Amino acid sequence: MAHLTLYGRRYCHLCEDMKIALEPLRRDFSFVLHVVDVDADPAAIARFDELVPVLMAGSPVGPDVELCHYFLDEKRVRAWLAAHAGPRAGEQVGNGALDGA
């Protein structure tokens, strides 16, 4: 199963917008979405800080490649998912909240 990781932060409207924009892709592709608050990890802050939201192909602990940042590049994400994901609804890992809730 394909893994996507969304790096963002609390109170970031672009981060929430990207998370919401990913939802329709679940109808067409099977993937796990990991949501990571960069402010909870100094290494993530050092890597992503002002780039958030950043959508990476891969899990937080595995190899990854940046698909897009700031805004969802639906064409690129769809192309990556078509090559790496199965054709069914996705699931989310964690509570998916960037607001700490």
CATH code for the domain in which residue 44 is found: 3.40.30.10
Look up the pTM and report it. Answer: 0.82
Evaluate whether residue 99 is within a structural domain. no
> CB of 29 within 8 A of CB of 90?
yes
Evaluate whether residue 101 is within a structural domain. no
Please report, in tens digits, the pLDDT of each residue of the chain (101 residues total): 899 999 999 999 999 999 999 999 999 999 999 999 999 999 999 999 999 999 999 877 777 899 999 999 999 999 999 998 866 644 555 555 565 54
Evaluate whether residue 6 is within a structural domain. yes
Pick from 89, 64, 77: nearest CA to 1: 89
- Over residues 8-37, the pLDDT tens digits come to 999 999 999 999 999 999 999 999 999 999
Q: What domain range is 11 assigned to?
A: 2-93
Taking all residues of the chain, what is their mean pLDDT, rounded to a whole number?
87
The β-bridge partners of 65 are 57
Evaluate whether residue 98 is within a structural domain. no
Count: domains in the chain:
1
